[in-house]
Amino acid sequence: MKRLLLAVLLATPLCAQSFCVAGAAMLPQTSPKTTGFEACAAVLSSANQIWSITGNQLNMTPQKKIQAVAFSGIATVCHVFSFATLYCFGAPAGATTGTNASLAVTGGFIGTFPVKGGKWGFFTPGYSVVKSNAGATGTILIGWGYKL
């Protein structure tokens, strides 16, 4: 997990505007239950609330193999609460499991809950579904993010 967070922090200058998050990705139906994810989002259209989102996620497949998923797609603000913002995203992706590689699709949501008005970053719970040749996995996301 420390390596994943370090990779996100080193990549921060590449994510021109908006925010980056990193954290744990948990699949309740598999063991081990915890893997990881990271994502960066940049505003494409502030008037229409359209964001470009790029990220990586490690999943445990139903066959108990680690699946690495890289995605790049579109996110939008689904709802703004007084205490948080909910982003919904969808993206084509590439997935590898061992020596097998395939195309995949992913989608889900990430919420941003600012801590101390965002000065300390924000808590980012979410949910992601990845569909590839290895099967479909629904993943609970829990992380931490910062605005850039």
Helix (H, G, I), strand (E, B) or coil at 133: coil
Q: Averaged over 125-143, what is the pLDDT?
A: 82
Measure the CA–CA gap between 137 and 127, rounded to whole angstroms. Answer: 10
| Per-residue pLDDT reduced to its tens digit, 28-82 | 665 666 678 899 999 988 888 899 999 998 877 667 777 788 999 999 999 999 8
pLDDT of residue 97: 77
**95 vs 15: which has the higher pLDDT:** 95
First-last CA distance in the chain: 21
pLDDT at 106 over 60: yes
> CB within 8 A of 61, min separation 6: which ones?
30, 67, 97, 134, 135, 137
Which domains can be identified in the chain, with CATH numbers? 2-13+20-143 (2.40.160)
pLDDT at 1 over 60: no
Q: The pTM is what?
A: 0.77
CB atoms within 10 A of CB 136: 12
Place of tokens 């040749």: 133
Residue pair 69/130 in contact by the 8 Å Cβ criterion? yes
